[in-house]
């Protein structure tokens, strides 16, 4: 998974929504700072999830005893 691209997309959506819907006269410097903060936090969160989330393993066939017992 391309983590920086996903984080950039999330930060871009955040910036568009913050500038377009939240304020009537937004401060561009504050919005860009918030978008950079959203990018970094999203990148760190995705990296942590990708690194520490349990990976799905292929299911193993169960081992069974198929020989005659020794008793």
Q: How deeply is 35 buried, as exposed, middle or buried, from its count of CB atoms within 10 A (0-12, 13-18, 19+)?
A: buried
d(CA 11, CA 9): 5
Mean pLDDT of the chain: 83
**pLDDT computed for residue 37 by the predictor:** 92
For the segment 43-64, what is each residue's pLDDT rounded down to a tens digit? 999 898 888 877 777 777 778 7
pTM above threshold 0.85: no
d(CA 11, CA 18): 10
């Amino acid at each position: 998974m391309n983590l920086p691209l996903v984080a950039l997309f999330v930060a871009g959506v955040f910036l568009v929504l913050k500038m377009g819907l939240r304020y009537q006269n937004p401060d561009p410097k504050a919005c860009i700072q918030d978008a950079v903060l959203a990018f970094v936090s999203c990148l760190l969160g995705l990296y942590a999830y990708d690194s520490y989330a349990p990976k799905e393993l292929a299911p193993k066939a169960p081992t069974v005893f198929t020989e005659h017992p020794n008793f």
